């Protein structure tokens, strides 16, 4: 044997040993954080024995004898499966993410610390009653029972990876404030139209206010509101029949919407991000196969790895006044209780109401003061110091006015609004401050517990009254056959203005004067129609005297859901009534009302050569459904993207280019019958383009794009090939290191649906076709037999990469399928694979 060959054999042997060693190390490291789900664990602070029964998907059903033990166990289970996610959220909501992941998160930390989420949550602790506080404390004890004595790498693989650049991380104990602060993060995501106010201002850099208003059409007159057009306020209470003075009320509201505030003299605005929303509907027993209501819900949120929801059942072994919980549904890791779900008597769903609970105030600032009511008032200031992993700490000064924190010190878009106003300033400078209801301490956590305990409509409404932020549409059904709707939340009453544009902070007449009393908020019980649909559409007609908010979804999803329900509820001979399977089919409906409106016009123009007509022909027999395998959906969405680009990008600042959601369906629909509208013209060319020229060019551009990215043959085009979902870990998924990304991310997955569609897998036309928001979970509750209910979430129960339950629900979710949702003790026992028993420490 030659020396060279002998050396190669030695090197190969050493490499084999190294590879085996790395594999063993990786296997051990990956599995090191996997929790035990069988056996017995002793826990300090428990009063009695707790059973945690998990099914084949790792979903836990928890049984205890006291509320404190029940929520302690929920904290323990959340920590077992999702502690890194909880710790990540805690760092986000306290403005300390840079401590964990470095300076890439510093801007986020500065923004959050300026808003003061955690400071508000700390104040809310003092507002908790003793009973609620004891439950949140018990939850925190449960979390700490699991994380105590465990290193970071024993809690999650993410900590092991982060530990490669520093010492092993040991997390802080969990606290009550950590749980309350997460509600602020959700409220921020669902805060309604603050972005719209900024975008309108930015749009006026190129457009007049009147042109901006064209791009922000009102709710379509032919679309239904949630509770109808005959509800109003009478003698301090909401009534569902309008009095004779309803015409006057409508006139007043219409006048208010048309009123011009002094803020409109400032450079103006445009646009709301599409995708964050939800669908929910409930059908009365008169229209179901069982004679009892069925409730469906699918909230639309940004995708993440792991998914934002955690499925759980919380059961008192003996339900009584002392231990009143027997509830199951979707929770947030880090937060005790069930946010959306059902108990033995009622079910509830949520959708974003888009109530306008945030206003931007322009402030005239001079030095350390700002103007208010003709006087210079001292700014409130505080110092915030930020620790940064691997770097020196930084300190900033946060400034606030009576309206709230000044965002223009940090937010570039908000700063642009101030700079636009500065052009007309004669002294000082303009800054932008935020007034937001969530910055006033009001502990919504009380509502979460109350919803879980509620047994009827009255108790449900009492729980809804505690649901202060975020403002959500609440749908209801019960085993007695009732269905209902309630608007909750702290919604401000404005002295002046309608909340759509920034207002002058120096003028007291633009302040708030309290909030809409709960008894005046829209509500309905057992409507004659036999069903209620909420899909972020307008809540109520203009006869309602209080201003809820103008920037709702345009109603394309809600109209489609209504059409599908009416097809079965109002047509004789359509079968024996709606069932759970029918609700699931509706949740997965991919019909595009936008395509139905636009395609007939697209088929009237001639794109030119046979090559371009081949693309156009994919639309001739298309059924307007955006299934993953549809060539027509692939081509139409490409046409839609290019149509928006050709029509609007020449006249709008880049920051507010159309993202293509429901609002833009209305905008294009409004100008489609006006071929000479100025919007069709490309202002950068000497000639004046018309509608048909733009439609023709969009058809041609889409054909060229799909030829390049998919195939020359239109038969090979597939919507799912371009419309993909990637599940990205929120900290390490964008590390820039391929190996690290692959450890934690999953996908991409081909998906159906799209923006403004019931199966709302949204995408942003300014970026591409990748999915930006999804139905983060789907649930269907059958009030005749809750064990027939179904549920699914985006990823899986576990937050541990490579665990069996890390992403085991995703394939079912993508195919529109669901899992059995067992609830009663017998059904839970039959579905149980593993049981972990928690016992008081020291028990013999």
> Sign of torsion, CA 157 159 163 165?
positive
Q: What is the pLDDT of residue 102?
A: 87
Residue length, the chain? 844
Q: Name the token pair of 276.
A: 């964050």
The more confident residue out of 841 and 25 is 841
Q: Are strands 503-504 and 358-366 parallel, antiparallel or unpaired?
A: parallel
**Residue 269: band (very low, low, confident or very high) from pLDDT cuts 50, 70, 90:** very low
The CA-atom distances, in angstroms, between 589 and each of 143, 321, 696, 751, 767 are 40, 43, 29, 12, 25
Instruction: Answer whether 415's CB lies under 8 Å from 432's CB.
Output: yes
Angle between helical axes of 631-648 and 662-672 (0-180°, round to 10): 70
Residue 575: the pLDDT is 54
With beta carbons less than 8 A apart as the criterion, state whether 771 and 725 touch: yes
What is the C-alpha separation between 443 and 422, in angstroms, rounded?
38
H or E stretch covering 227? none
Q: 4: Cβ–Cβ under 8 A, 6 or more apart, which residues?
A: none
Lowest mean pLDDT among 82-86, 178-182, 187-191, 742-746: 187-191
pLDDT at 685: 93
Could you give the CA distance from residue 704 to residue 708 in angstroms, rounded to a whole number?
Answer: 6
Strand ranges (E), 389-516 = 391-401, 404-405, 429-436, 472-478, 483-486, 492-494, 503-504, 512-515
Binned at pLDDT 50, 70 and 90, residue 165 comes out as: low
CB of 93 closer than 8 Å to CB of 334: no
More confident residue, 200 or 56: 56
What is the dihedral angle through the alpha carbons of 743, 744, 747, 751, rounded to the nearest 10 degrees?
170
What 3-state DSSP class applies to 282?
strand
Using the Cα atoms of residue 572, residue 574, residue 575 and residue 580 in order, give the sign of their dihedral. Answer: negative
User: With 50 as the cut, is the pLDDT of residue 742 above it?
Assistant: yes
| Calpha distance 134→197 (Å, rounded) | 41
Q: Which of 699, 682, 698 is nearest to 690 (CA)?
A: 682
Contacts of 626 (CB under 8 A, 6+ apart): 590, 591, 592, 595, 633, 636, 637, 719, 723, 752, 753, 754, 757, 759
Please give the positions annotated as active site. Answer: 278
For residues 515 and 493, the answer to whether their CB atoms sit within 8 Å is yes
User: For residue 417, is pLDDT > 80?
Assistant: no
* pLDDT for position 551: 87
359 φ, ψ to 5°?
Answer: -130, 145
Q: pLDDT (tens digit, 9 = 90+) per residue, 786-808?
A: 999 999 999 999 999 999 999 99
Indicate if the pLDDT at residue 58 is higher than 50: yes
- Percentage with pLDDT > 90 across the chain: 75
- Residue whose C-alpha is closest to residue 216's, from 667, 668, 553, 651: 667
Whether 542 and 250 have beta carbons less than 8 Å apart is answered as yes
- pTM of the predicted model, to two decimals? 0.90
Q: Could you tell me which of 121, 43, 33, 41 has the C-alpha nearest to residue 84?
A: 33
Report how far residue 501's alpha carbon sits from residue 313's, in angstroms, rounded to the nearest whole number: 44
Instruction: In whole angstroms, give the CA distance from residue 90 to residue 730.
Output: 13
Distances (CA, A) of 241 to 409, 461, 488, 526, 781: 48, 20, 20, 14, 30
Does 319 have pLDDT greater than 60?
Answer: yes
pLDDT at res. 52: 98
Per-residue confidence at 195, pLDDT binned at 50, 70, 90? Answer: confident
How far is residue 412's CA from residue 390's CA, in Å, rounded to a whole number? Answer: 27
Residue 295: closest CA among 479, 458, 527: 479
Question: With the CA atoms of 212, 215, 221 and 223 taken in that order, what torsion angle do they form, in degrees rounded to the nearest 10?
Answer: -140
Neighbours of 620 (CB within 10 A): 9
Model confidence at 152: pLDDT above 50: yes
Three-state secondary structure call for residue 630: coil
Q: Token digits for 548?
A: 């809820």
Q: At what angle do helices 130-147 and 445-453 cross, to 10 degrees?
A: 100
Residue 599: which residues within 8 A CB-CB, separation 6 or more? 619, 622, 624, 636
Beta strands in 262-345 (DSSP E): 277-283, 294-301, 310-316, 326-331, 340-343
pLDDT 10s digits, 69-115: 999 999 999 999 999 999 999 999 999 999 988 888 899 999 999 99
pLDDT-derived band of residue 731, with 50, 70 and 90 as boundaries?
confident
Tell me how far apart the alpha carbons of residues 97 and 107 are, in angstroms, rounded to a whole number: 10
Ramachandran quadrant class, 189 (left: phi over 0; alpha: psi -120 to 50; beta: rest): alpha
- Got the DSSP string for 293-311? -EEEEEEEE---BS-S-EE
356 carries a ligand binding annotation: yes
For residue 470, what is the enclosing H or E element?
none
Compute the average pLDDT of residues 673-682: 95
- What is the mean pLDDT of the segment spanning 737-762? 94
Which tokens hold the place of 779?
A: 């649930």
| Residue 577 burial (CB count, 10 A) | 17
pLDDT value for 737: 84
CB atoms within 10 A of CB 729: 25
Closest CA to 346 of 525, 482, 212: 482
Q: Is the CB of residue 274 less than 8 Å from the CB of residue 296? A: no
Contacts with 137 (C-beta within 8 Å, 6 or more apart), sequence order: 176
Model confidence band, residue 419 (pLDDT cutoffs 50, 70, 90): low
pLDDT for residue 570: 62
Cα(298)–Cα(280) distance, integer angstroms: 6
Cβ pair 280, 473 in contact under 8 A: yes
Which of 796, 616, 705, 560 shows the shortest CA–CA distance to 85? 796
Calpha distance 697→309 (Å, rounded): 43
Give me the phi and psi of 294, to 5 degrees please: -130, 135
**pLDDT of residue 695 exceeding 90:** yes
Q: Which residues sit opposite 405 in a β-bridge?
A: 400
**For residue 518, pLDDT beyond 90:** yes
Write the CA distances from 304 to 109, 192, 307, 523, integer angstroms: 20, 21, 5, 34
CA-closest candidate to residue 91, choices 118, 70, 73: 118
pLDDT of residue 2: 54
- pLDDT for position 362: 95
DSSP, residue by residue, 778-789: EEEEESS-GGG-
Name the band, by pLDDT with cuts 50, 70 and 90, for residue 126: very high
Query: Cβ distance 829 to 54 under 8 Å?
Result: no
Token code pair at residue 353: 């109401």
Residue 703 CA neighbour count, 13 Å, CB half: 20
pLDDT in tens, 199-254: 888 888 888 888 988 888 999 999 999 998 778 887 788 887 533 222 222 222 22
Q: What's the pLDDT score for residue 235? A: 73
Q: Please, what sign has the CA dihedral across residues 197, 198, 199, 204?
A: positive
DSSP state of 387: E
Name the residue with tokens 């608007």. Answer: 487
User: What is the reported pLDDT for 576?
Assistant: 76
How many alpha carbons fall within 13 Å on the CB side of residue 595? 26
CB atoms < 10 A from the CB of 648, how many? 20
> Are residues 497 and 509 in contact, defined by beta-carbon separation less than 8 angstroms?
no
Mean pLDDT of the chain: 89
Determine the average pLDDT of the residues in 297-304: 95
Establish whether the linkage from the previous residue to 179 is cis, with ω within 30° of 0. Answer: no
CB 120 within 8 A of CB 184: yes
């Amino acid at each position: 044997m030659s020396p060279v060959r002998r050396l190669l054999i030695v090197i190969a042997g050493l490499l084999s040993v190294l590879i085996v060693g790395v594999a063993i190390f990786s296997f051990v490291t990956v599995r090191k954080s996997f929790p035990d789900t069988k056996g017995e664990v002793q826990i300090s602070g428990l009063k009695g024995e707790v059973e945690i029964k998990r099914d084949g998907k790792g979903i836990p059903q928890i049984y205890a004898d006291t509320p404190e033990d029940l929520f302690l166990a929920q904290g323990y289970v959340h920590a077992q499966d999702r502690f890194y996610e909880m710790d990540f959220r805690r760092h986000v909501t306290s403005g300390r993410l840079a401590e964990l992941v470095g300076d890439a998160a510093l801007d986020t930390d500065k923004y959050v610390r300026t808003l003061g989420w955690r400071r508000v949550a700390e104040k809310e602790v003092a507002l908790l009653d003793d009973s609620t506080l004891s439950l949140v404390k018990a939850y925190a004890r449960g979390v700490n029972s699991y994380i105590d004595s465990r290193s970071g790498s024993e809690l999650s693989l993410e900590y092991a990876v982060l530990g490669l650049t520093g010492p092993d991380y040991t997390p802080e104990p969990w606290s009550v404030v950590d749980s309350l602060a997460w509600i602020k993060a959700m409220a921020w995501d669902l805060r309604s139209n603050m972005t719209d106010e900024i975008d309108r201002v930015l749009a006026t850099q190129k457009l007049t206010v009147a042109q901006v208003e064209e791009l922000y059409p009102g709710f379509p007159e032919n679309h239904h509101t949630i509770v109808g057009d005959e509800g109003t306020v009478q003698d301090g209470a909401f009534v569902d029949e309008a009095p004779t003075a309803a015409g006057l009320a409508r006139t007043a509201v219409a006048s208010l919407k048309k009123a011009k505030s002094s803020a409109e003299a400032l450079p103006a605005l445009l646009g709301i991000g599409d995708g964050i929303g939800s669908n929910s509907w409930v059908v009365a027993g008169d229209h179901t196969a069982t004679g009892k209501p069925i409730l469906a819900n699918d909230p639309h949120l940004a995708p993440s790895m792991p998914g934002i929801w955690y499925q759980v059942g919380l059961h008192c072994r003996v339900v009584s006044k002392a231990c009143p919980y027997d509830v199951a549904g979707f929770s947030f890791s880090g937060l005790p209780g069930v946010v959306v779900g059902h108990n033995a008597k009622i079910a509830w769903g949520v959708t974003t109401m888009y109530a306008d609970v945030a206003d931007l105030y322009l402030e005239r600032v001079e030095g350390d003061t700002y103007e208010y009511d003709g006087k210079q008032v001292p700014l409130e200031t505080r110092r915030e110091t930020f620790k940064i992993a691997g770097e020196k700490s930084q300190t900033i000064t946060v400034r606030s006015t009576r309206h709230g924190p000044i965002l223009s010190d940090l937010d570039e878009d908000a700063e642009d609004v101030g700079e636009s106003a500065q052009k007309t300033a004669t002294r000082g400078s303009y800054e932008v401050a935020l007034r937001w209801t969530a910055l006033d301490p009001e502990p919504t956590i009380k509502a979460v517990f109350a919803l879980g305990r509620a047994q009827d409509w009255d108790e449900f409404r009492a729980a809804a009254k505690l649901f202060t932020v975020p403002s959500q549409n609440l749908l209801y059904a019960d085993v007695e056959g009732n269905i209902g709707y309630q608007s909750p939340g702290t919604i401000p009453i404005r002295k002046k203005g309608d909340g759509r544009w920034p207002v002058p902070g120096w003028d007291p007449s633009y302040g708030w004067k309290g909030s809409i009393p709960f008894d005046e908020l829209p509500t309905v019980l057992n409507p004659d129609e036999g069903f209620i649909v909420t899909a972020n559409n307008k809540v109520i007609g203009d006869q309602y005297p209080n201003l809820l908010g103008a920037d709702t979804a345009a109603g394309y999803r809600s109209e489609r859901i209504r059409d599908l329900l009416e097809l079965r509820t109002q047509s004789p001979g359509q079968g024996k009534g709606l069932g759970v399977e029918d609700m699931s089919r509706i949740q997965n409906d991919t019909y595009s009302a936008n395509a139905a409106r636009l395609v007939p016009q697209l088929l009237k123009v001639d794109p030119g050569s046979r090559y371009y007509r081949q693309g156009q022909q994919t639309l001739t027999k298309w059924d307007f459904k955006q299934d993953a395998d549809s060539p027509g959906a692939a081509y139409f969405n490409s046409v839609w993207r290019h149509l928006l680009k050709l029509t609007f990008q020449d006249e709008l600042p880049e920051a507010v280019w159309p993202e293509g959601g429901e609002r833009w369906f209305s905008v294009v629909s409004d100008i489609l019958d006006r071929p000479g509208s100025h919007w069709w013209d490309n202002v950068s060319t000497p000639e004046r383009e018309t509608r048909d020229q733009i439609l023709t060019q969009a058809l041609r551009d889409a054909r060229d794009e799909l030829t390049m990215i998919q195939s020359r043959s239109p038969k090979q085009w597939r919507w799912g090939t371009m419309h993909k979902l990637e599940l990205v870990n929120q900290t390490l998924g964008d590390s820039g290191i391929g190996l690290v990304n692959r450890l934690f991310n999953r996908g991409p997955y081909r998906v159906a649906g799209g923006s403004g569609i019931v199966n709302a897998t949204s995408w942003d036309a300014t970026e591409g076709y990748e999915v930006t928001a999804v139905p983060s979970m789907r649930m269907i509750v059958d009030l005749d037999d809750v064990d027939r209910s179904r549920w699914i979430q985006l990823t899986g129960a576990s937050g541990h990469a490579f665990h069996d339950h890390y992403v085991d629900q995703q394939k079912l979710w993508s195919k529109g399928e669901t899992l059995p949702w067992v609830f009663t003790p017998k059904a839970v026992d039959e579905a149980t694979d593993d049981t972990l028993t928690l016992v008081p420490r020291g028990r013999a």
